[in-house]
Chain A
Amino acid sequence: MSSTTTIPVTVITGFLGAGKTTLLNRILTEKHGKRVAVIENEFGEIGIDHQLVIQSDEEIFELNNGCICCRVRGDLIRILGKLSQRRDKFDYVLIETTGMADPGPVAQTFFTDADVKESFRLDGIVTVVDAKHVDLHFDDMREVREQIGFADVILLNKEDLVPPKDFAKIEALIRKTNPMAKIYPTKDAQIDIAKVLDVGGFDLKRALDLEPDFLKADEEEHDHHHHEHDDEHEHEHGEEHDHHHAEDVTSVGIRAPGDLDEKKLSDWLGTLLRTKGQDIFRMKGVLAVKGHAMRFVFQGVHMLMDGRPDREWGNEPRVNTLIFIGRNLDRAALNEGFKSCLAE
């Protein structure tokens, strides 16, 4: 019989040369007590001897006439299926994708395939960004923007190779694209392993365990939010920007008090996912539904949504918080749609 526990999986994405393999090797050499199985891409070169290293070929399975939301990774289904035969031999899985990989089908594999779901759970998507070259790739490479948009954790790697002023701009750009992710500046992908593994990026219990100010970037849309690098950096956003970046991948955050009408909410979300799910990479939220003492939490990838009541609001103000990250999101329509769900 199958065991009831699932094995966590972390996906490491990032453009060629960003430092994915460096991070992978770091995780494998560090003493963290985990026995890690690695699925690396076909060009992967892990520098250390490791018992469970499997190469994958990024084969996309298209179900239901190739709808983008039904695209899964056949190679991962096959490899994870075989690995599940040896689940007593490892307790963590790392997947290193190629620089050109779309994280969508990788994530969807963990939510749609019954066999995969039975033994594994997606813990998080870690995107390694080359701080020195991202400025160049960000506009030309759709994949770079997608990988940033999908991430739970972003390593802004090679920070040592970038002047602080430029670094702050880059960080602002990334933060604007994905205000939900935790961003860590790193050198040689040096990071506390606890910050990249077991992050619970898709865990409803931790759905809103986000940066406390994760909405700032959105609310104060024209006033970038920075970490430690922003001291002397205060620039205006938009046309005066010295380099206007591609903005197809963006985020829309909504925070509003008030109770939502259950029926209206379900209709709105249903229609939204059906019609715009292709463009929504990630979404998360905590909602106050009229007549329910419990908070309703949800998270989703493309059209796949997972939601449930988590705990009582108690004394906390009933404030709805939602965030969408995706391509060509219509900010006005999302806000409008949300408002239409407020109970009379």
Chain B
Amino acid sequence: MPAPSPFRPIAFVWNGKLEDFNTSLAWSPGGKRLAAASVSGQVAIYDAAEGKAIHLIEQAHADGCDAIAWRPDGNALATAGRDGTWKLWDTEDGKLLAEHEAGALWAEHLAWSPRPIGERGHLLALGAGNTLSLWTETGTPAGEASGEAIKLPKKTVTDLAWIMGGTSLAVATSTEIIVRDHAVENDTPRVFRSRDPILNMAFSPSGKWLMTGNQDCSVHVWNTDSGTEMHMRGFAAKVRQLAWHRNSRWLATGGGLAISVWDCSGRGPEGRTPLLLEWHADQLSALQYQPEGDWLASGARDGSIAIWSPTQRQNQISRAKISSGVTRVAWSPDGKLLAATGEGGEVQVLAVE
């Protein structure tokens, strides 16, 4: 008799397919819808329970869609792409609500403020080339007519995120991260400068820790309370995946075949040996913790997907595979469903039983 599998069975709940490499994946805030977008320019909005494509926008962006973001009310989706525009879509009737020039040919980053900012409501931050701009819920320029466009000379926006309570926006370029609270008039920005070119960033939910993955395959860490910095080297590849546990204690990083999980309690990860999660046989390409749980989902370029409970002795919970390299993984807001997208356009929704 074969030994019983130590892994929990995984159910393939439903799947969809876009035409080409999937770039973006996002659950609607309530978890009722799932949106995915691809380099073919397609954007699909699925019913999360049954997988029916409610809207399929064939050419949301010519030459590819690179970013999508649900408006916090869950009734509209912002998209940005390689045609130099960003658009706002009504996700109930599929109609285009607004369309604007993004400021550069490739508009790559979008993020809605999780909280309303004064009378302006929720703001959408858009990064396109070296232009950062802010927009309102109806897709009009926020504040000044210019859409508060801020040019960052010779510095392309590499990442952006709303952090610490939801009114502070962090914008990363290759050389620095600038944090500004948009609820405070003329807030003096906090700047974190990096010696190594920055690829991406992740603030801990508490706001205490700021991590960046860098061009030279290292991870840089700032303790934003004390200002102390740490540097972790030795990754086999660029660390493009940074995933925080909701309690701000654990940070999972990619950068090669193995996942490292760093203990950031107390004075931080420096000098501590990370937990190593080794199973993937190809480069890690996606990592995300459950929003309200302890499980970590990972995807790799060979299509393998794993679910981990990193601090448990039997730390791998479940496994699955899709037919092309994983580009994104995303947990549903309640943590019950895991969505994964592929280089071949796959959209797969899974559930661990």
Contacts and interface: CB of A to CB of B under 8 A. Distances in A.
Nearest to A51: B63
Interface in A55-105: 55, 57-59, 61-65, 72, 74-75, 77-79, 82, 85-86
A57 B237 contact: no
A339 B21 CA distance: 55
Given A61-B197, A74-B174, A85-B23, A55 B105 contact: yes
B197 A52 contact: no
24 contacts: A1-B282, A1-B301, A2-B325, A51-B63, A52-B63, A54-B106, A57-B130, A59-B155, A59-B156, A59-B174, A61-B197, A61-B215, A62-B197, A63-B197, A74-B156, A78-B156, A82-B64, A82-B82, A82-B106, A86-B20, A86-B64, A114-B237, A114-B238, A115-B238
B196 interface: yes
Contacts of A115: 238
Interface in B283-337: 301-302, 324-325
Nearest to B104: A55
B238 A86 contact: no
Contact of B216 (A51, A55, A63, A86): A63
Interface in B246-266: none
Given A57-B130, A59-B154, A77 B302 contact: no
5 A-B pairs with the lowest CB-CB distances in the bound complex, closest first: A61-B197, A85-B21, A85-B39, A63-B216, A86-B39
B327 to A, nearest CB: 8
B21 A86 contact: yes
Given A1-B325, A57-B130, A61-B174, A77 B63 contact: no
Contact of B197 (A58, A74, A114): A74
Nearest to A64: B216
Nearest to B302: A1
A82 B82 CA distance: 10
A276 to B, nearest CB: 24
A63 B324 CA distance: 33
Given A63-B216, A82-B66, A114-B237, A2 B301 contact: yes
A308 to B, nearest CB: 24
B217 to A, nearest CB: 8
B197 A57 contact: no
A113 B216 CA distance: 9
Interface residues of B, number: 31
Given A57-B156, A63-B216, 14 more contacts: A1-B301, A1-B302, A1-B325, A54-B105, A54-B106, A58-B154, A59-B154, A59-B156, A63-B196, A64-B216, A65-B195, A74-B174, A75-B156, A82-B106
Interface string A1-39: 110000000000000000000000000000000000000
Q: How large is the interface on A (under 10, 10 to 19, 20 to 34, 35 or more residues)?
A: 20 to 34
Interface in B50-71: 63-64, 66
Nearest to A63: B216
Contacts of B103: none
Contacts of B104: 55
B139 interface: no
B213 interface: no
Contacts of B282: 1
Contacts of A61: 174, 197, 215
Contacts of B215: 61, 63, 72, 74, 77, 113
A58 B156 CA distance: 10
B135 to A, nearest CB: 23
Contacts of A63: 196-197, 215-216
A86 B39 CA distance: 7
A52 B106 CA distance: 12
A122 B346 CA distance: 32
Contact of A57 (B154, B196, B238): B154
